[in-house]
Amino acid sequence: MGMLKDMGHREKIGLALIAVALMALPFVLASAGTAWVRIMNFAVLFVLLSLGLNIVVGFAGLLDLGYVAFYAVGAYVYALLASPHFGLHLPFWVILPIGAAVACVAGVILGAPTLRLRGDYLAIVTLGFGEIVRIFMNNLSNPINITNGPKGINRIDSFQIGPVNFAGSDTLAGLVFSGPIKYYYFLMLVLLAVIVINRRLQDSRIGRAWVAIREDEVAAKASGINTRNIKLLAFAMGASFGGIAGGMFAAMQTFVSPESFVLNESIMILAMVVLGGMGNIWGVIAGAVLLSFVPELLRYTVEPVQMALFGKMLVDPEVLRMLVFGLALVLTMRFRPAGLWPETRHRRELSENRA
Partner 1 sequence: MSAVLLEARGIGKRFGGVQALKDVSLTIKSGEIYGLIGPNGAGKTTLFNVFTGLYPRDDGEVLFGGSPLHLESPHEVAAAGIARTFQNIRLFGNMTARENVMVGRHVRTRAGVVGAMLRTRAERTEETAIRRRADELLHYVGIADRADDLARHLSYGDQRRLEIARALATEPKLLALDEPAAGMNATETAGLRDLIEGLRRDGLTVLLIEHDVKLVLGLCDRVAVLDYGQKIAEDVPEAVRANPKVIEAYLGTSAH
Partner 2 sequence: MDILLQQIINGLTTGSVYAVVALGYTMVYGVIQLINFAHGEVVMIGAMVAFSIITSLAGSGMPPLAIVLAGVMAAIPACMAIGYLLERAAYRPLRHAPRLAPLITAIGMSIILQHAALLIWGRNPLAFPQIIENPSFSIGSAAISAVQITIILLSLLMMAGLSWFVYRTRFGIAIRATAENVHVASLMGINANRVIAATFVIGAGLGAVAGVMYGSYYGIAHYTMGFTLGLKAFSAAVLGGIGNIAGAMLGGLLLGLVEALGTGYIGDFSDLCRWPGASEGMGWMGERCADGAHFVVFGSNYQDVFAFLMLILVLVFRPSGLLGERVSERA
Q: Which residues bind partner 2 (CB under 8 A)?
A: 57, 61, 63, 65, 113-114, 116-121, 123-125, 127-129, 131-132, 135-136, 138-139, 142-143, 217-218, 263-264, 267, 270-271, 274, 315, 319, 322-323, 325-330, 332-334, 337
Q: Which stretch binds partner 1 (CB under 8 A): 74-82, 92-100, 159-167, 206-214?
A: 206-214
> Does residue 334 interact with partner 1 by CB under 8 A?
no
The Cα-based distances of 188 to 36, 40, 211, 291 in angstroms read 16, 11, 27, 18
> Does residue 48 interact with partner 1 by CB under 8 A?
no
Which C-beta is closer to partner 2: that of 141 or that of 160? Answer: 141
> Does residue 343 interact with partner 1 by CB under 8 A?
yes
Binder of residue 220, out of partner 1, partner 2, none (CB less than 5 to 8 A by kind): partner 1
Q: Which residues of 87-115 are buried (b: 16+ CB within 10 A; e: fewer)?
A: eeeeebeebbebbbbbbbebbeebbeebb
> Does residue 347 interact with partner 1 by CB under 8 A?
no
Q: How far is the CB of 237 from partner 1 (least distance, A)?
A: 7
Binder of residue 75, out of partner 1, partner 2, none (CB less than 5 to 8 A by kind): none
Q: Would you tell me how many other CB atoms lie within 10 Å of the CB of residue 211? A: 17
Taken in order 65, 318, 241, 281, the sign of the CA dihedral is positive
- DSSP for residue 315: S
Torsion of CA 73, 79, 85, 88, to 10 degrees: 110
Residues that contact partner 1, how many (by CB under 8 A): 33
How far apart are the C-alpha atoms of 179 and 251, rounded to whole Å?
11
Q: Is the CB of residue 67 less than 8 Å from the CB of residue 127? A: no
Q: How far is the CB of 39 from partner 2 (least distance, A)?
A: 22
Which x/- pattern, by CB under 8 A, does the window 236-265 give for partner 1? -x----------------------------
How far apart are the C-alpha atoms of 213 and 60, rounded to whole Å?
6
Tell me which H or E stretch contains 218.
Answer: helix 217-222
> Does residue 205 interact with partner 1 by CB under 8 A?
yes
Q: Which stretch binds partner 1 (CB under 8 A): 30-38, 101-109, 214-222, 287-295?
A: 214-222
